[in-house]
């Protein structure tokens, strides 16, 4: 038995390897994730699609066409055909089950990309007892709601687009806090364009951490950290690590005392 943790209890700012870090290796590939883990990343960001036979893969697009040497919709292909595809012509598509098992101390921010992924993701979290190691996000409130309803226990959830719009609308954060808490929403994960001081303040007042994506510029990383964001997602994992080291804010996996 491992000691129970909270997904967000790592010392801030949190560093997320977006799709593993495609500035260095192909996106959502084993090589990208391994590289980020070797750098010391405690948080990996990835995506979830289910194959036609219900196998959960770490893959961003609905189809294989853009980044692999094969074509077709993931949800319409059996797992054996998806397994034959190669990212960039060389890298196999990882199974989410294998990723969770490979690094038991690493936490995964998982974007539910399609409705059919909700049930196998809930089953995986239950089977792996990964309740405290995952945060679920999606551009679809319906997918977030479906995943939450399929789980036996609360897990960390990010705001839906509706929740992000509520923060952007100017409602005081303390008014929104009870709704977010009732839905296990613990963080607002926002694009760079929304990461402005008033919205960050409202999110904090609502009891949420603020994580910004996808930040690949040194000066922008610095300005966002100065604004008080709680986490940054980046393709350039080496750059973000270096920026945080320079600021005395790099907390690699396994080396820091959890935040109070």
- Catalytic status, residue 18: yes
- Residue 108 and residue 36: Cα distance in Å, rounded? 12
Q: Which residue has the tokens 């997918």?
A: 143
Nearest to 37 by CA among 105, 97, 96: 105
Contact 225, 249 (CB under 8 A): yes
DSSP H or E stretch at residue 148: helix 141-150
Q: Has 35 been annotated as catalytic?
A: no
Dist. CA 252–CA 15, nearest whole Å = 9
3-state secondary structure of 121: helix
Catalytic residue among 18, 49, 211, 251: 18
Region label for 129, one of left (φ > 0), alpha (ψ between -120 and 50) or beta (otherwise):
left
Which of 10, 24, 35, 60 is flagged as catalytic?
A: 60
Catalytic residue numbers, as ranges: 18, 60
């Amino acid at each position: 038995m491992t000691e129970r943790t909270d997904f967000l209890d790592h010392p801030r700012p949190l560093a997320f390897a977006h799709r593993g870090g495609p500035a260095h290796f192909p996106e959502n590939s084993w090589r990208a994730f391994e590289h980020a883990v070797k750098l010391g990343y405690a948080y990996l960001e990835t995506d979830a699609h289910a194959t036609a036979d219900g196998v959960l893969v770490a893959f961003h697009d609905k189809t294989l066409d853009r980044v692999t040497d094969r074509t077709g919709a993931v949800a319409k292909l059996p797992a054996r055909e998806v397994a034959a595809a190669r990212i960039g012509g060389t890298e196999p598509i990882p199974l989410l089950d294998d990723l969770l098992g490979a690094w038991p101390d690493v936490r995964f921010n998982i974007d539910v990309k399609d409705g059919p992924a909700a049930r196998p993701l809930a089953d995986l979290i239950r089977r792996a007892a990964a309740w405290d190691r995952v945060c679920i996000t999606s551009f679809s409130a319906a997918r977030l709601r479906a995943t939450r309803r399929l789980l036996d226990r609360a897990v960390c959830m990010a705001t839906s687009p509706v929740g992000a719009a509520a923060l952007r609308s100017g409602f005081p954060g303390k008014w929104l806090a009870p709704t977010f808490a009732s839905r296990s929403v613990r963080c607002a994960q926002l694009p760079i364009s929304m990461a402005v001081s008033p919205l960050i303040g409202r999110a904090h007042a609502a009891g949420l951490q603020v994580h910004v994506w996808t930040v690949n510029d040194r000066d922008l990383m610095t300005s966002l950290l100065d604004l008080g964001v709680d986490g940054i997602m980046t393709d350039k994992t080496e750059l973000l690590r270096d920026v945080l080291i320079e600021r005395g804010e790099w907390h690699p996996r396994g080396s820091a005392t959890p935040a109070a």
